[in-house]
């Protein structure tokens, strides 16, 4: 019997296929693709736009204001869904598509699924050179879309309609692979989008996907167990992969059964609530004195679901040089870092297997007591740090403390880049599992509002009664704020804490800490700004449809936040904070930055010598 076929354009086939991909989440079947974000142009409106219109009820399309922010929103959505669902982004050929490069890099660094459906130049080249085409004189196949190759996990240019039969499943397989998860890019030449092909009807049948759980190798488990059982001062580093594996319970059970203290990475914040007796705090450059203190003493470190970024490791100075690492990770590349004993596998399965192999081993009581005493001291520091009054200047920490005290336990907190990730990581006391999104994998300014919008879209599908709260500095706000408008238009309420310190204050702090003079970071120190003035952020937010108010201090912030919680629409609260005072000074591990080896400034020279004095602690593993 002849195979049944259906004639469709390339664009129609892509969208029809996407609409028929499903996944089971918590016992409920739903579409794998939650919809998409789109800005149409000549490169995607006529063909892909036509296909999306026909499937608008199955795949919700959100109108973007900026392509980069669309990508950030898709990343925030994927994080909220723990990588079990994704959104697509579509942009026109040329600058529209190139605006997505940064967002793709963010998704790549954070190991997040995102599908990019982007316009491309005509395959036939008959009209070349076309509007917005980048001409490479020596290679006509090389264009702007090739810029995505370093920042995607899967890249393809569709040059024939039949290719999508192979390319689409490959893209989905990549996005759902715990080891290779990241963005997938499909370049869609404008002519090929409209070309037709007789596709097999079977290609469009409903398919339910599952995310692979890779079992660990028994010999790797045995080796890891033997090392762990010899530990006198064991420690667990819990990364973001714990949540993506849905292994929070297994992590907690492992720590409790074997009495091992746990520290969290930035991506791993909210693996444990703040009050858990084995939660010793966040580790690293933006961490806590408690976590960093035990990291210096630990002889055996079990790293679970972390890529061991420099902010986690203090540029590899946070640990004793003789400490041994066991790394559980679905990605072989991450599991083998810094001479770790690797356990390549799913965190949930690996922790369960390792717990059985370790048997009745428990960490020494005195070691646990030491760790818990460090945590109590850190809690006292944070309590004082977030307190207000006594004529203290307004600070990030105070604003964080106000929100922490008044928000609901399941509200989601978002921060990114600048000084706020460090301040949130150090000072936020986790109220419930999986409620913190600090984007520091790529440390990307502009994620704060756009990523929160994407998170809110996902949150509305799961916990519509909860709020998404984002902390944003004035620098990031000015860089990318248009999704305040998006959130109002789509009725996806955000609460935005806009903390204004007059410029890029955290980089100014780094500038000063390395002996340099303040230069071109704060508005007051920019040589091309003769008369600095502040933006009326309240009026600006109101112009985009948000409710907004400006507060003078944290007392007023408390009342404003209560009003924001009661509001049904996006609410922006503006408060000035001091650019020099009120920073969290505790908890910082060393961080390698390049400082001048030769300078005429005594301050810069002294700072260089002081900075380099900690290099002797740096591990040389690869």
Helix (H, G, I), strand (E, B) or coil at 507: helix
Q: Cβ-count burial of 150 within 10 angstroms (0-12 exposed, 13-18 middle, 19+ buried)?
A: exposed
Q: Give percent of the chain with pLDDT exceeding 90.
A: 95
In this model, does residue 454 exceed pLDDT 60?
Answer: yes
Q: How far apart are CA 410 and CA 487, in angstroms?
A: 20
Work out the mean pLDDT of the chain and round it to a whole number: 96
Give the residue among 418, 488, 421, 452 at the shortest CA–CA distance from 69: 452
Name the token pair of 386: 């977030």
In order of start, what are the domains of the chain with their CATH numbers? 7-209 (3.40.50.970), 218-377 (3.40.50.1220), 387-576 (3.40.50.970), 592-622 (no CATH)
Q: Cβ-count burial of 568 within 10 angstroms (0-12 exposed, 13-18 middle, 19+ buried)?
A: exposed
Give the residue among 482, 474, 536, 539 at the shortest CA–CA distance from 505: 474
Between vectors from CA 77 to CA 334 and to CA 449, what angle results, nearest 5°? 105
Mean pLDDT for the stretch of residues 581-592: 93
The dihedral sign for the CA sequence 132, 115, 482, 476: negative
Q: Tell me the per-residue pLDDT of 455-472, one tens digit each, with 9 for 90 and over.
A: 999 999 999 999 999 999
> For residue 88, what are the β-bridge partners?
36, 115
pTM of the model: 0.96
Mean pLDDT for the stretch of residues 549-558: 96
Backbone dihedral angles phi then psi of residue 490, each to the nearest 5 degrees = -95, 0
Q: Which helix (H) or strand (E) holds 71?
A: helix 67-80
Check residue 622 and give its pLDDT: 53
83: left (phi over 0), alpha (psi -120 to 50) or beta: left
Q: How far is Cα of residue 381 from the mean position of the Cα atoms in its chain?
A: 27
Q: Tell me the per-residue pLDDT of 368-392, one tens digit each, with 9 for 90 and over.
A: 999 999 999 999 999 999 998 767 8
pLDDT band at 483 (very low <50, low <70, confident <90, very high): very high
Backbone dihedral angles phi then psi of residue 198, each to the nearest 5 degrees = -85, 90
In this model, does residue 362 exceed pLDDT 90?
Answer: yes
pLDDT band at 67 (very low <50, low <70, confident <90, very high): very high
Cα separation values, 74 from 129, 139, 293, Å: 32, 33, 37
Q: How far apart are CA 400 and CA 405, in angstroms?
A: 9
In this model, does residue 620 exceed pLDDT 90?
Answer: no
* Site of tokens 């009807």: 201
Q: Give percent of the chain with pLDDT exceeding 70.
A: 99
Distant-in-sequence, close-in-space partners of 435: CB < 8 Å, separation ≥ 6: 270, 409, 410, 411, 412, 413
Min mean pLDDT across 119-128, 129-138, 590-599 is at: 129-138
Q: How far apart are CA 211 and CA 330, in angstroms?
A: 12
Backbone dihedral angles phi then psi of residue 300, each to the nearest 5 degrees = -140, 125
Between vectors from CA 576 to CA 573 and to CA 579, what angle results, nearest 5°? 140
Q: Tell me the per-residue pLDDT of 404-424, one tens digit each, with 9 for 90 and over.
A: 999 999 999 999 988 999 999
Check residue 389 and give its pLDDT: 73
In this model, does residue 1 exceed pLDDT 80?
Answer: no
Check residue 223 and give its pLDDT: 98
DSSP code at position 522:
B
Q: How do strand 21-25 and strand 28-31 relate by DSSP bridges?
A: antiparallel
Q: How far is Cα of residue 4 from the mean position of the Cα atoms in its chain?
A: 44
Q: Tell me the per-residue pLDDT of 137-164, one tens digit each, with 9 for 90 and over.
A: 999 999 999 999 999 999 999 999 999 9
In this model, does residue 117 exceed pLDDT 70?
Answer: yes
Cα separation values, 24 from 80, 207, 210, 347, 455, Å: 16, 11, 7, 20, 20
Task: Let me know: does 612 contact 604? Beta carbons within 8 Å.
Answer: no
In this model, does residue 519 exceed pLDDT 60?
Answer: yes
Q: How far apart are CA 443 and CA 580, in angstroms?
A: 21
Check residue 338 and give its pLDDT: 83
Mean pLDDT for the stretch of residues 568-581: 97
Ranges of beta strands (E only) in 440-521 are 468-473, 495-500
Q: How many CB atoms lie within 10 A of CB 154?
A: 20
Burial pattern 349-358, b for ≥16 Cβ within 10 A else e, equals bbbbbbbebb
Give the residue among 151, 27, 38 at the shortest CA–CA distance from 84: 27
Mean pLDDT for the stretch of residues 437-444: 94
**DSSP string computed for 372-439:** HHHHHHHHHHHHHHH---TTPPP-HHHHHHHHHHHS-TT-EEEEESTTHHHHHHHH----STT-EEEE
Give the residue among 360, 332, 350, 315 at the shortest CA–CA distance from 236: 350
Give the residue among 502, 494, 457 at the shortest CA–CA distance from 478: 502
Q: Tell me the per-residue pLDDT of 199-253, one tens digit each, with 9 for 90 and over.
A: 999 999 999 999 999 999 999 999 999 999 999 999 999 999 999 999 999 999 9
Q: How far apart are CA 354 and CA 361, in angstroms?
A: 11
Helices (H) and strands (E) in the chain, counts: 24, 23
Backbone dihedral angles phi then psi of residue 204, each to the nearest 5 degrees = -100, 10
């Amino acid at each position: 019997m002849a195979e049944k076929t259906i004639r469709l354009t390339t664009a129609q086939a892509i969208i029809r296929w996407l609409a028929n991909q499903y996944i089971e989440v918590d016992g409920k079947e739903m579409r794998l693709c939650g919809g998409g974000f789109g800005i149409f142009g000549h490169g995607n409106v006529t063909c892909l736009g036509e296909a999306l219109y026909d499937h608008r009820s199955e795949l919700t399309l959100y109108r973007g204001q900026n392509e980069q922010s669309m990508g950030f929103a898709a990343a925030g959505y994927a994080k909220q869904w723990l990588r079990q669902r994704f959104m697509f982004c579509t942009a026109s050929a040329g600058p529209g598509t190139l605006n997505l490069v940064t967002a793709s890099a963010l998704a790549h660094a954070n190991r997040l699924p995102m599908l990019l459906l982007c316009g491309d130049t005509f395959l036939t080249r008959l009209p070349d050179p076309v509007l917005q085409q980048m001409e490479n004189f020596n290679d006509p196949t090389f264009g702007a879309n090739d810029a995505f190759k370093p920042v995607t996990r899967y890249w393809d240019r569709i040059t024939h309609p039949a290719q999508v039969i192979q390319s689409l499943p490959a893209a989905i397989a990549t996005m759902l692979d715990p080891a290779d998860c990241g963005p997938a890019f499909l370049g869609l030449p404008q002519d090929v989008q409209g070309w037709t092909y007789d596709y097999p009807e079977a290609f469009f049948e409903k398919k339910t996907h599952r995310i692979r759980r890779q079992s660990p190798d028994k010999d790797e488990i045995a080796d890891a167990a033997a090392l762990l059982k010899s530990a006198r001062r064991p420690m667990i580093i819990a990364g973001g992969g714990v949540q993506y594996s849905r292994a929070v319970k297994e992590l907690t059970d492992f720590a409790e059964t074997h009495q091992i203290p746990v520290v969290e990475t930035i991506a791993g914040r909210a693996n444990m609530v703040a009050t858990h007796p084995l939660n010793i705090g966040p580790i690293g450059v933006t961490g806590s004195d408690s976590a960093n203190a035990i990291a210096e003493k630990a002889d055996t470190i079990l790293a679970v679901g972390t890529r061991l970024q420099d902010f986690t490791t203090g540029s590899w100075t946070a640990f004793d040089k003789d400490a041994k690492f066991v790394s559980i990770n679905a990605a072989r590349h991450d599991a083998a870092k810094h001479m770790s004993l690797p356990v390549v596998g799913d965190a949930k399965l690996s922790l369960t297997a390792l717990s059985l192999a370790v048997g009745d081993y428990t960490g020494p009581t005195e070691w646990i007591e030491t760790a818990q005493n460090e945590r109590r001291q850190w809690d006292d520091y944070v309590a004082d740090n977030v307190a207000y009054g006594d004529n203290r200047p307004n600070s990030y920490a105070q604003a964080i403390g106000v929100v922490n005290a008044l928000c609901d336990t399941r509200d989601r907190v978002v921060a990114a880049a600048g000084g706020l990730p460090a301040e949130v990581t150090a000072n936020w006391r986790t109220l419930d599992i999986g409620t913190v999104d600090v984007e520091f994998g790529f440390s990307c300014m502009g994620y704060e509002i756009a990523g929160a919008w994407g998170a809110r879209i996902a949150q509305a599908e799961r916990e519509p009664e909860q709020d998404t709260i984002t902390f944003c500095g004035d620098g990031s706000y000015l860089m990318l704020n248009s999704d305040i408008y998006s959130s109002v238009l789509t009725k996806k309420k955000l609460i935005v804490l806009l903390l204004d310190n007059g410029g890029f204050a955290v980089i100014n702090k780094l500038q000063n800490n390395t002996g340099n003079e303040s230069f071109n970071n704060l508005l007051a120190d920019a040589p091309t700004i003769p008369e600095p003035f502040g933006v009326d952020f309240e009026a600006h937010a109101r112009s985009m449809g948000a409710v907004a108010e400006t507060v003078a201090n944290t007392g007023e912030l408390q009342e404003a936040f209560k009003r924001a919680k009661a509001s049904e629409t996006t609410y922006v609260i503006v408060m000035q904070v001091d650019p020099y005072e009120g920073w969290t000074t505790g908890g910082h591990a060393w961080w390698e930055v390049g400082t001048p080896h030769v300078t005429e400034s005594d301050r810069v020279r002294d700072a260089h010598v002081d900075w380099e004095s900690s290099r002797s602690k740096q591990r040389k593993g690869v």
